[in-house]
Amino acid sequence: MKKILAPSLLAGDHSCLKDSLLIVDQDGRNWIHLDIMDGHFVPNLSFGPQTVADLRKHSNIFFDVHLMLDQPQKYIEPFAQAGADLISIHVEPEYDIPDALEKIRSLGKKAGIVLNPDTAVEEVFPYLNDVELVLCMTVNPGFGGQSFIESVLAKVRALVALRSEREESFLIEVDGGVGPEHVPACLDAGVDVFVAGTAYFKGDKEARDEFAASIET
């Protein structure tokens, strides 16, 4: 299974997000990760559907949209219409998760389920038949620049084992504090998709390409 580097637009230049998107596109990456934060489920705000729609006009890259929201089910359709390719929702808030996942897929989008570092991996097990991706947060969500929590890789290993046992095909993604130094351990654990923000955008093109090559080859 080919591994994927998904740069996180949250770490780009917010005065001109289009330029950050184009850097990722022109670097030849296939995915970009867009963190949507509401100031309630996480203590920060990012961007809404209109920003995603405006960015969509400038690139056909795969939009991996991560809803860090108290009530994600209310925003699935707006983000689907804005151009999301995959919409991931958290397991922690109180809402009808099966219904929300069904809504994502009914709109022709891929569905993902997300768990925070302190959430037991078993919490996502009931939804694995209904998703194309499981995102294991490797920091507490809300802000960039945090340190990678390596103990989360135990959850990745558990998901890899269960995926093999059930003969399923969902991807396993990590997001938070991911840098080149974490790639070997993540690959060993079985990570498929690597979200990287600060570590990606802080480098020049040569550094970005080296980071991608360590994952994608």
Q: Are 6 and 217 in contact (CB under 8 A)?
A: no
pLDDT of residue 145: 63
Mean pLDDT of 154-161: 98
Which class for 90: exposed (0-12), middle (13-18), buried (19 or more C-beta within 10 A)?
buried
Structure tokens at 81: 């219409």
Q: Does residue 143 carry a pLDDT above 70?
A: no
- Tell me the mean pLDDT in the region 132-157: 90
Split at pLDDT 50, 70, 90, the class of 45 is: confident
pLDDT value for 40: 84
Evaluate whether 7 touches 38 at the Cβ level (below 8 Å). no
For residue 176, the tally of other CB atoms under 10 A from its CB is 26
Active site amino acids: 35, 175
pLDDT reported for residue 144: 59
Q: What is the mean pLDDT of residues 18-32?
A: 97
**pLDDT exceeds cutoff 90 at 99:** yes
Higher pLDDT, 189 or 142: 189
pLDDT for residue 41: 87
Query: If you average pLDDT over every residue of the chain, what do you get?
Result: 95
Q: Is the separation of the CB atoms in 67 and 87 below 8 Å?
A: yes
Average pLDDT over residues 67-75: 96
Confidence of residue 180 (pLDDT cuts 50, 70, 90): very high
pLDDT, average across residues 175-204? 95
